[in-house]
Amino acid sequence: SWIDSSHRDQARSLAVESGADMIELCCTAPTDITEQRITKRLQNGTDPSKVTVEVARAMARIESPWTSSTVIDTARDPEFVVAEALRILSEDTEQS
């Protein structure tokens, strides 16, 4: 989930140490949509994490801001979301 900024900092340090590029994408959607998705996955038994709406709400309350990431709105059609992510990745690798 990357809600803890210290985990993100550790990932950045590891990327620097290993000479890897670090591209930070933060996928977001409005709460009503995420809660609908969680409920549907639980009902369908398709969510391997078994996260609940209550857990998601608790995580949202403690999430650290992620200002170094590029935000991707996942409330849209998955085709557009993937295209946007690929475009960002492509642009970032071209600049490196």
Identify whether the C-beta of residue 69 lies closer than 8 Å to the C-beta of residue 25. Answer: yes
95 and 51 Cβ atoms separated by less than 8 Å = no
Kindly report, residue by residue over 8-29, the tens digit of the pLDDT.
999 999 999 999 999 999 999 9
The CB-side HSE value for 6 (13 A sphere, CA atoms) comes to 1
Q: Could you report the per-residue pLDDT of 32-90, keeping only the tens digit for each? A: 999 999 999 999 987 788 799 999 999 999 999 999 999 999 999 999 999 999 999 99
Rounded Cα–Cα distance for residues 86 and 95 (Å): 14
- What is this structure's pTM? 0.84
Give me the pLDDT at residue 80, please: 97
- Residue 92 predicted with pLDDT over 70: yes
- Residue indicated by tokens 């209550």: 54
Q: What is the pLDDT, as a whole number, of residue 96?
A: 64
